[in-house]
Amino acid sequence: MFGFLSKANVLKAPISGKVIDLKEVPDQVFAEKMAGDGAAIVSTGDTIVSPADGKLTFIFKTNHAFGLNLDNGAEILVHIGVDTVELKGEGFTRIAEEGTYVKAGDPIIKLDREFIISKGYSLITPVLITNADIIKKLEVKVGKEVKSGDVMLSYKL
């Protein structure tokens, strides 16, 4: 009804690192926002946590990405690295189970950073709202160094 009354929602960093604009992700699908809108993190940590409270709807068999449905209707995709699907799950250990309700900060995937990087893969981690058509306003903390659990972006529906 009144736009100024709409509440800002946040997504928290699923891993420590530096927040970057999606345009900087070296993958056209993310850089051109074909899979959704949001931000990415040049990661430095080794555990991926949930960026918000919601239902963990899926984890790829290769454990390189997962999706959440939030109570506000937002659908979130966390994609760990660029082209990491090619590792066929090596370097990723699933911690959480599909279908469970998770809280922001709950661990989802553990990474073997050294292994993944030794295979030549980037661990830039896009965090997307895949149903971006519901977003009225998006503010990303580009350039900010974040710790896992810090706010990385806010959005209004």
pLDDT tens sequence across 121-137: 999 999 999 999 999 99
pLDDT of residue 146: 97
Domains, the chain, with CATH or none: 3-156 (2.70.70.10)
List the end-to-end C-alpha distance of the chain, in Å, as a whole number.
Answer: 12
pLDDT above 60 (res 24): yes
Q: What is the DSSP secondary structure assignment for residue 16, as one 8-state letter?
A: S
Per-residue pLDDT band at 3 (split at 50, 70, 90): very low
- CB-side neighbour CA atoms (13 Å) of 56: 25
Q: What is the pLDDT of residue 2?
A: 44
- Average pLDDT score over the chain: 95
Give the mean model confidence (pLDDT) for residues 71-79: 97
Q: Which residues are catalytic?
A: 79
Which residues, including other chains, have CB under 8 Å from residue 54's CB and lie 6 or more apart? Answer: 68, 69, 70, 71, 76, 101, 102
| The pairing of beta strand 37-43 with beta strand 124-129 | antiparallel
On the 0-12 / 13-18 / 19+ scale of CB atoms within 10 A, 69 is middle
Residue 8: band (very low, low, confident or very high) from pLDDT cuts 50, 70, 90: confident
